[in-house]
Amino acid sequence: MTLTMVGDIGGTNARFALWRDERIESVRTLPAADFATPELAIEHYLSSLGLSSGDLSSLCLGCAGPVSGEDFRFTNNHWTLNRSAFRRALGLDNLLLINDFTAMALGMTRLREDGRIQICPGASEPGNPSLVIGPGTGLGVSTLVPDGGDRWRVLPGEGGHVDLPVGSLREAALWQQLFADLGHVRAEDVLSGSGLVRLYRAVCTLDGHAPHLGTPAEISTAALAGDPVAVEVLSLFCIWLGRVAGNGVLTTGARGGVYIVGGVIPRFAAFFQSSGFASSLCSKGCMSHYLNGVPVWLVTAEYPGLEGAGVALQQALEPAAA
């Protein structure tokens, strides 16, 4: 038996699946803290299916953190990996390690209509890049580029660490408050789970409110229940995401569309749809017309990272046509 397997490993959980006939199957989620090494987690996954590492030939892992060299340390968990030792331990013929947001971007090529919600209408321009952006633990940003035929490549980067853009006097006042606390204000400092809490505290400090909400879930729940401070905070979050995404489209020429990914925005999808995101995305002065007609989708698919890892492995194992 020759098996191909994919994984999507974050700070808390490791998701694994078999990749067979160009689709994922037998998806399992395992807490990283339960296993001393990624090898043990993979062996446990295979054992749960009545399989062993001897059945496995090829593996692609999407890993949180910069991927380069022989040794890799996972971001926000205790796992480390040496490529050569890892391959020997599992008896692999092929091992592919990619950044988790590269896997996420490639997963956009596998989306079905029921796995996304259209936020801004428009038509993708064939042959042009697409922007993939997602608030979560941090702010991930990648550019998905058509590479001829049915192949794709991803331009990874650190777009979550760009300076936070300012587009109004209210935002400028909040930026000053954030700057007083942080010294340098990145997009990720607002557009992430912890960033939502930081933005809430900045609004409270600026307006003289006593903060009583302490988690992203509490803030979004209060906003959906009509709490006026939480409503403004969540509105500003959506507006700032639009500004950063619009900057990304201008920078990369991403007229193929924008994909909003990650677990944060789907929790308040209806609020997001009616927020100022769309107007702030296109509010670029003399270049506002460039953003008009660029489609934007909110991704609700369950396992785009695993799907993308499968695409990456398939492309690596199947040479491009001459």
Q: How many CB atoms lie within 10 A of CB 84?
A: 10
Q: Buried (b) or exposed (e) across 270-305, using 16+ Cβ within 10 A?
A: ebbbebbbbebbbbbeeeeeebeebbbbbbbbebbb
Annotated binding site: 7-12
Q: Does residue 71 contact residue 82 with C-beta atoms inside 8 Å?
A: yes
Q: Tokens representing 51? A: 């399989």
Give the residue numbers of the binding site for ATP. Answer: 7-12
Tokens standing for residue 131: 């922007």
39 Cβ contact partners less than 8 Å away, ≥ 6 residues apart: 86, 89, 90
Strand arrangement, sheet containing 258-260 = 116-120, 296-299, 258-260, 130-135, 139-146, 152-156
What CA dihedral angle connects 250, 252, 256 and 260, to 10 degrees?
-80
Buried b (16+ CB within 10 A) or exposed e, 139-166: bbbbbbbbeeeeebbbebbebbebebbb
Distance of CA 37 to the CA centre of its chain: 24
Do the Cβ atoms of 109 and 144 come closer than 8 Å?
yes
Q: Residue for token digits 């906003």?
A: 223
Is 136 in a helix, a strand, or coil?
coil
Residue pair 128/253 in contact by the 8 Å Cβ criterion:
yes
